Amino acid sequence: MKSVIKNSLLMITMIAALSACGGDDTSKTSGSTTGTTSAGLTEALTVFAESWTGTQMLANFHDLAVIAGNSGSCGGGGSASYITSLTTMSNCIRKFPADNGYLGGLTGIPVQVGTIKSATLQNNGDITVKDGSSIGTTRYTINTINFSATDDTSTAGKEMTQVMNGTLGISLTTGSSFSVGSVSSISTNNGSSLSTTSGFTYTRNHGNANRVVTSSNLVVNADATNMSQRPASGQYTVAVGTAGSTCVNVGVQFVSTTQVKLTCSNTSESRVINWTDTDVKTALALALS
């Protein structure tokens, strides 16, 4: 495949990170205790779990923007082919991040001007998203995806992908649904790390409350197997709204690849969680249920 896909640069790790997260950590300031003890911190954990799921969904836009219009072997396995306006993916996995393998079709005519590719893309039927490290395992199914994108490789060793006006609807293996909308996202990838800034709304299980997520400079590094890790730094804010909310706004700060600080704005409470905490893993699982 073209070097665009061989170099395969981009974006946040997907639900693989979710399955490895969890919690028994609950200080109102920092550190660990034994359980969320207030309405505000309970809400902050739930909002974090759902918004983190949505944040990882953004990888689909960036991955598909890079893959679109290419033919040949994909950097992490599988292949893609482009005929007329249809890109067909056969378990296509990017080199980095290599979390997702794509099976299905994408419609759109990429226009290449020098080192910059641009396209308006949408799914052609369902796209199955597989586990990049275990291609026989299905993560979820993309039912609808629409977006415009540019993919810029003008700087040697670096790829910048910008997504505009994105919408995505998926069906989870649990039978639940998750959607993101109003997606605006830009990611810079140098093959060993990527930095992403984005804004979007999300809705779980056809809910009518779109929560707004604004992220800033989430940095994800490759690990030894060239897969993605959780962000090592960066932050985002979730505007929950005032209706029935204790926090109104929830702040999420990635302290390290192992810890995240959650803040309930309205009560000024905060908690540092570990991805391995039992209650955190439970919240992340519920976000996908």
Res 18: pLDDT: 34
The amino acid present at 130, given as its one-letter code, is K
Average pLDDT over every residue of 148-165: 96
> What span, in angstroms and rounded, lies between the C-alpha atoms of 114 and 117?
8
The pLDDT assigned to 208 comes to 59
pLDDT greater at residue 24 or residue 160: 160
Instruction: Report pTM.
Output: 0.86
58 falls in which pLDDT band (50, 70, 90)? Answer: very high
Is it the case that residue 1 has pLDDT exceeding 80? no
Residue entry with tokens 């609807």? 169
What is the predicted pLDDT for the residue at 64? 98
Alpha-carbon distance of 151 to 23, in angstroms, equals 38
Closest CA to 67 of 9, 129, 115: 9
Q: What is the pLDDT of residue 244?
A: 84
Cα dihedral 233, 287, 23, 134, rounded to 10, equals -80
By mean pLDDT, which of 22-31, 145-154, 193-202 is the weakest?
Answer: 22-31
Return the minimum-mean-pLDDT range out of 1-10, 70-79, 129-138, 143-152.
Answer: 1-10
Q: How far, in Å, are 14, 141, 201, 243 from residue 207 at the CA level? A: 22, 19, 12, 14
Closest CA to 89 of 109, 74, 108, 75: 74
Q: What is the pLDDT of residue 173?
A: 86
For the chain, what is the mean pLDDT?
87
Per-residue pLDDT tens over the stretch 6-31: 333 333 333 333 333 333 333 344 33
Q: What is the mean pLDDT of residues 231-237?
A: 95
The secondary structure of 140-181 as a DSSP string is: EEEEEEEEEEEEE--STT-EEEEEEEEEEEEEETTS-EEEEE
* Residue 36: predicted pLDDT: 55
8 Å CB contact between 131 and 137: yes
pLDDT band at 209 (very low <50, low <70, confident <90, very high): low
As a whole number, mean pLDDT of residues 122-134 equals 96
Cα–Cα distance, 76 to 93 (Å, whole number): 5
Residues 91-116 pLDDT 10s:
999 999 999 999 999 999 999 999 99
CA distance 286 to 216: 26
